[in-house]
Structure 1
Amino acid sequence: MIKKITIFLALAAMIAATGYGYITKQVEQYVTQPLQIEQDQIFTLKSGTSFNRVLAQLTEQGWIESNDVSRLVRRLHPELTQLKAGTYLLQPGLNLTQTLELLKSGKEHQFAITFLEGSTFKEWREALVGASHLEHELTGLSEADIAVKLGLEHEKLEGLLLAETYHYTFGTSDLDILKRASSKLQQVLNIQWEKRQDKLPLKTPYEALILASIIEKETAVEEERERVASVFVNRLNKRMRLQTDPTVIYGMGDKYDGNIRKKDLRTPTPYNTYTISGLPPTPIAMPGEASIEAALNPESSKYLYFVASGTGGHVFSKSLAEHNRAVRAYLKQLRSKK
């Protein structure tokens, strides 16, 4: 009798071991299955979501195959269950285990938004509206309202935000981005203002931003910035009008159609430096750090004029006669290309 019981128990143990081995194998096959995605996918794990619900969500998306053994993953792989809320980037080639390890790591995907040097606040608002996974707190607010929320004394935000690329995670707001851009601009401006040349015709850091914005719009050639800055500084020192086209364009607003005509140069606006003396009342664009540095540390020169060279840069002149010759050469080059 004892022998029969022993045999029975042995058989039962064998069956149990075989069953356990089969189930374990099924679970391993389940957790090592590759994600069925052909391109990057964004997955948001909300706070309070259970482990089993995460598996269900991945199944509902069609990214993994369903299996009844999914409920056993928690027991056989407890190390995969401590997931952290966040938004993650799932890439082709990941399997389920690697996906769960990513969700466990808390390494959220960083989104990015880029603001180009020389862009305007209007363009920034459009970019923020179109940015993915941003919370929108600026909707319905005027520019002056936003300035108040940023703690700025100027109602116009042109020039008060540093143009560069900003990374952010899911749940970040558009206001958060602007606060960072405002803070970074102030940091850069403070550093450059302390390093500024002596006897510049700039009374305040804000005036430096105005000049920097004009430099930003006048040239994208890195090695020209300090020389362009010198032209404007020289003209300010001589009380000459700046006569720079980007200020005319900015003053025209929506009336600008891509062309500047002689009547536009003669039409007064608060920004038209052909009709006003000194700097315009505000910056005309968002400057980058290089243009701010150039405005406060211009090249030492006697240049008073510059015109496009036709090859991507500019020709600089010390006298009006030299400048007129450069203009004629530029116009001749343009006509030859037609």
Structure 2
Amino acid sequence: MGRWLLTVLIVAALLGAGAAGAVMWWLQSPLVLAKPEVELSIEPGTAPQQVAQAWIAAGVETDPRLLYAWFRYSGQARKIRAGSYEIHAGVTPRELLDKMVRGDQVLEQLRIIEGWNFRQLRAAIAAAPALKQTTASMTDAQVMAALGVPDQPAEGRFFPDTYAYSRGVSDLTVLKRAHALMRKRLDSAWSGRADGLPLKSADEALVLASIVEKETGAAVDRGLVAAVFVNRLKAGMPLQTDPTVIYGLGAEFDGNLRKIHLQTDTPFNTYTRGGLPPTPIAMPGLAALQAALHPTPSKALYFVSRGDGTSQFSEDLAAHNRAVNKYQRGR
């Protein structure tokens, strides 16, 4: 118990309800703030006395010894949670402590979109509000090493979702959460996969799911898109999927896929190389993971866009050519 508050309580016991009433009045009276909103980020391991001093430095106009004495007297000083907090005019000492004990933080959000590649994710991190930038100067490989997986390619390894974070938290903290969630989702999907898939590992499933993610225009087609690629892998046919070619072109791609691009060999050109590309080409969502590991039963080997977001699926080349003429050439 703080000396000041202990003294007040002793005086209250001697003088009666007057001094005790003064203490209660202070606890329930609005704190004076230097500005309409006062923000504070409390790092893990910060001592209660330092918390009190930090609030005063941030703009709470009271004696830090008084605030610290209240933290101790309440018996909840050690329950104060790390995080980012914001208080407004009218907050009382009691409400301030309750907020920190509850962990009632101000949170920002980072949304990772299905189909993004790692370059797009890094751009979103760089633009994220109040996120501590620690990876900006790192290469992709260095980022993965910092996450504890130095031998793992970065592409496709982060689960698309919305991540809430406290102001001032490290970008690596958010990346760790997204990486761990993708590992969890992938492991779960792989353990429940359908029988007979031409996939040797969960990593191959992730690669296939990333292609399904990029090739699906309408959710209703996702299982059939996956079926086409599974059927092609089983038949030893090249996947011949444009998104992998585009990914392999990298910064050279200007938005217009040309015939020369389909003929230019890269590790990701599925027209010139058989099987799956060496890494994912994007971050697949849960629906794409499930589709890759539970494709819709179908003998389809081809599909073409109908121009409305959906696709026409065909089991043989003749039917596919007719679909191309109808939907792509208008014949």
The interval holding the TM-score normalised by the smaller chain is 0.7 to 0.9
Does the 8 Å contact 1:88/1:103 carry over to 2?
A: no
The residue type paired with residue 86 of structure 2 is L
Shift of the alpha carbon at 1:246? 0.3
Q: Which moves more between the two structures, 143-152 or 122-131?
A: 143-152
The residue type paired with residue 108 of structure 2 is F
One of 189, 193, 202 as aligned partner of 2:190: 193
Shift of the alpha carbon at 1:209? 1.0
Gaps of 5+ in 2: 1-14
Which whole-Å deviations, capped at 9, do the CAs of 1:197-231 have from their partners, x for residues lacking one?
22211112211111111001111532221110000
The residue type paired with residue 113 of structure 2 is L
Does the 8 Å contact 2:210/2:283 carry over to 1?
A: yes
TM-score when normalising by structure 1: 0.76
Q: Distance in 2 between matches of 1:279 and 1:76?
A: 63
Counterpart residue number, 1:291: 288
Q: Which moves more between the two structures, 224-233 or 70-79?
A: 70-79
Q: Which moves more between the two structures, 25-34 or 259-268?
A: 25-34
Does the 8 Å contact 1:35/1:96 carry over to 2?
A: no
- The RMSD of aligned alpha carbons is 3.7
Counterpart residue number, 1:236: 233
Counterpart residue number, 1:163: 160
Q: 1:53 to 1:91 in 2, by over 3 A?
A: closer
Q: How does 1:267-278 map to 2 (within 5 A)?
A: 267-278=264-275
Q: Distance in 2 between matches of 1:24 and 1:152?
A: 55
Counterpart residue number, 2:305: 308
SS where residue 251 of structure 1 aligns? Answer: helix
Gaps of 5+ in 1: 1-15, 60-65
Counterpart residue number, 2:86: 90
SS where residue 325 of structure 1 aligns? Answer: helix
Shift of the alpha carbon at 1:291? 1.1
Counterpart residue number, 1:31: 30
Q: Distance in 2 between matches of 1:99 and 1:159?
A: 42
The residue type paired with residue 306 of structure 1 is F
- Whether 2:217 is the aligned partner of 1:216: answer no
Q: Which moves more between the two structures, 201-210 or 75-84?
A: 75-84
Does the 8 Å contact 1:247/1:272 carry over to 2?
A: yes
Shift of the alpha carbon at 1:323? 1.8
SS where residue 31 of structure 1 aligns? Answer: coil
Task: Using the aligned pairs only, state the percent identity.
Answer: 38
Counterpart residue number, 1:263: 260
Counterpart residue number, 2:131: 134
Counterpart residue number, 1:63: none
The size of the alignment, in residue pairs, is 309
Q: 1:298 to 1:41 in 2, by over 3 A?
A: farther
Q: 1:51 to 1:328 in 2, by over 3 A?
A: same
Instruction: Give the greater-gyration-radius structure (CA).
Output: 1
Shift of the alpha carbon at 1:118? 1.0
Q: Distance in 2 between matches of 1:93 and 1:327?
A: 66
Q: 1:297 to 1:23 in 2, by over 3 A?
A: closer
Q: Distance in 2 between matches of 1:185 and 1:294?
A: 16
Q: Which moves more between the two structures, 248-257 or 316-325?
A: 316-325
Q: How does 1:49-64 map to 2 (within 5 A)?
A: 49=50, 51=52, 54-55=55-56, 57-58=58-59
Which whole-Å deviations, capped at 9, do the CAs of 1:35-81 have from their partners, x for residues lacking one?
974xx87433563436476256335xxxxxx69x9998888997599
Q: 1:24 to 1:127 in 2, by over 3 A?
A: same
SS where residue 233 of structure 1 aligns? Answer: helix
Does the 8 Å contact 2:244/2:281 carry over to 1?
A: yes
SS where residue 316 of structure 1 aligns? Answer: strand
Shift of the alpha carbon at 1:233? 0.8
Q: 1:221 to 1:72 in 2, by over 3 A?
A: same
Q: 1:280 to 1:79 in 2, by over 3 A?
A: same
Q: Distance in 1 between matches of 2:249 and 2:322?
A: 29
Which whole-Å deviations, capped at 9, do the CAs of 1:221-250 have from their partners, x for residues lacking one?
322211100000111111111111101110
The residue type paired with residue 119 of structure 1 is W
Which whole-Å deviations, capped at 9, do the CAs of 1:166-206 have from their partners, x for residues lacking one?
22334532222222222222222222222222221111221
Q: 1:35 to 1:326 in 2, by over 3 A?
A: farther
Q: Distance in 2 between matches of 1:312 and 1:123?
A: 23
Shift of the alpha carbon at 1:292? 1.4
Q: Distance in 2 between matches of 1:332 and 1:91?
A: 62
TM-score when normalising by structure 2: 0.77
The residue type paired with residue 113 of structure 1 is L
Does the 8 Å contact 2:267/2:277 carry over to 1?
A: yes
Which whole-Å deviations, capped at 9, do the CAs of 1:86-120 have from their partners, x for residues lacking one?
44453768644544542454333333211111111
Does the 8 Å contact 1:163/1:287 carry over to 2?
A: yes
Counterpart residue number, 1:62: none
